[in-house]
């Protein structure tokens, strides 16, 4: 959760919603695709090429692994791969993760195995890459998958709007690290609005957070909408004591002036 100081002694939780963010870390279904140049992709992915990992993720496991008997990941040739290595190279993500644990004393080697496991759908390795190696391959894979899932979301699934929100959340996070892409930013903001329109309360709350600074007049209505659609943070903020709102308003935070005005108008009815 991100905390924003509104006024001396007044701290509000400004959040993407912890539960919603954890849901965005869940992997989506593996893609199906062409099986060309798998050995080359394996070597490049293990060596640090994110584009190769993304392409590898689209491949179905090969029926046989004889073509992969080459030493594509080792620092020095040491004979043909062991059975577990052959399984990893053929698309068994769990085997790749097990090899990373086996070789954990060799950070570079473990890193390569984890990249292959992550690229092929093993989320433990995606998390490990970030925590132990500062490698955001998993987040980049998720960004692409959630973008596609959002485009297909018609509000008829189990959790309408969640995929669109997760796309926005991953874009926001990666944009802070990789730098913003104008076209991707536009698409991510559109996804956030779509998520809210589909009834995802956390997305509505994120829109309210933006309106707080760029469109304070719309802030009270967006905050109320977010609460109605299930955002606990929005509901908590709507219950902010009047004394705190007045203090923030005096310090020039217009959104809180508008919220205070809206509350007084409702009370007067």
> What residues does each domain of the chain span?
2-14+200-268, 38-120
pLDDT single digits (tens) 151-194: 998 877 778 899 999 999 999 988 877 777 889 999 999 999 99
Q: Where do we find the tokens 């308003």? A: 249
Please give the residue that has the higher pLDDT: either 135 or 24: 135
Cβ contacts of residue 195 below 8 Å, gap of 6+?
150, 161, 162, 164, 165, 168, 203
Rg (CA), the chain: 23
pLDDT computed for residue 58 by the predictor: 63
pLDDT at residue 66 is higher than 50: no
pLDDT at residue 239 is higher than 60: yes
Please give the residue that has the higher pLDDT: either 64 or 229: 229
pLDDT computed for residue 199 by the predictor: 95
Please give the residue that has the higher pLDDT: either 260 or 48: 260
Please give the residue that has the higher pLDDT: either 188 or 269: 188
Please give the residue that has the higher pLDDT: either 6 or 48: 48
Please give the residue that has the higher pLDDT: either 105 or 42: 105
pLDDT computed for residue 245 by the predictor: 94
pLDDT computed for residue 24 by the predictor: 67
Please give the residue that has the higher pLDDT: either 21 or 128: 128
pLDDT single digits (tens) 77-96: 455 667 888 788 777 889 98
Helix axes 137-152, 107-119, angle to 10 degrees: 10
pLDDT computed for residue 254 by the predictor: 95
d(C-alpha 206, C-alpha 196), whole Å: 9
Helix axes 107-119, 50-57, angle to 10 degrees: 40
C-alpha distances in angstroms, 162 versus 25, 60, 64, 167? 12, 27, 38, 9
Q: Pick left, alpha or beta for residue 63 (phi over 0 → left; psi -120 to 50 → alpha; otherwise beta).
A: alpha
Q: Report percent pLDDT > 70 for the chain.
A: 76
Question: Per-residue pLDDT averaged across 44-62, rounded?
Answer: 68
The token duo for 159 is 């959790």
Q: 3-state SS of the chain?
A: CEEEEEECCEEEEECCCHHHHHHHCCCCCCCCCCCCCHHHHHHHHHCCCHHHHHHHHCCCCCCCCHHHCCCCCCCCCCCCCCHHHHHHHCCCHHHHHHHHHHCCCCHHHHHHHHHHHHHCCCHHHHHHHHHHHCCCHHHHHHHHHHHHHHHHCCCCCCCCCHHHHHHHHHHHHHHHHHCCCHHHHHHHHHHHHHHHHCCCHHHHHHHHHHHHHHCHHHHHHHHHHHHHCCCHHHHHHHCCCHHHHHHHHHCCCHHHHHHHHHHHHHHHC
Q: Residue 31's Cα: distance from chain center in Å?
A: 18
pLDDT computed for residue 179 by the predictor: 78
Q: Residue 7's Cα: distance from chain center in Å?
A: 31
Structure confidence at residue 116 as a pLDDT band (50, 70, 90):
confident
Q: What is the pLDDT of the chain when averaged over all its residues?
A: 78
pLDDT computed for residue 194 by the predictor: 97
């Amino acid at each position: 959760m991100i905390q924003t100081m509104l006024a001396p002694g007044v701290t509000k939780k400004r959040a993407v919603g912890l539960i919603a963010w954890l849901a965005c870390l869940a992997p989506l279904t593996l893609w199906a695709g062409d099986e060309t140049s798998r050995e080359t992709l394996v070597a490049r992915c293990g060596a640090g090429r994110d584009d190769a990992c993304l392409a590898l993720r689209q491949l179905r496991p090969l029926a046989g692994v004889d073509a992969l008997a080459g030493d594509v990941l080792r620092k020095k040739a040491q004979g043909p791969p062991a059975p577990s290595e052959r399984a990893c190279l053929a698309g068994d993500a769990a085997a790749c993760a097990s090899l990373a644990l086996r070789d954990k004393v060799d950070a570079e080697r473990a890193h390569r195995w984890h990249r292959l496991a992550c690229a092929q759908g093993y989320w433990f390795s995606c998390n490990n890459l970030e925590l132990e190696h500062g490698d955001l391959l998993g987040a980049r894979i998720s960004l692409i998958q959630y973008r596609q899932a959002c485009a297909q979301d018609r509000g008829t699934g189990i959790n309408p709007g969640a995929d669109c929100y997760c796309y926005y959340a991953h874009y926001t996070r990666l944009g802070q690290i990789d730098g913003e892409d104008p076209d991707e930013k536009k698409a991510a903001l559109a996804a956030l609005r779509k998520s809210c329109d589909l009834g995802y309360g956390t997305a509505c709350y994120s829109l309210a957070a933006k309106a707080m600074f760029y469109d304070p007049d719309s802030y009270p209505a967006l905050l109320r909408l977010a609460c109605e659609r299930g955002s606990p943070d929005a509901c908590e903020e709507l219950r902010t004591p009047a004394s705190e709102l007045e203090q923030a308003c005096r310090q020039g935070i217009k959104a809180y002036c508008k919220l205070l005005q809206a509350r007084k108008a409702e009370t007067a009815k």
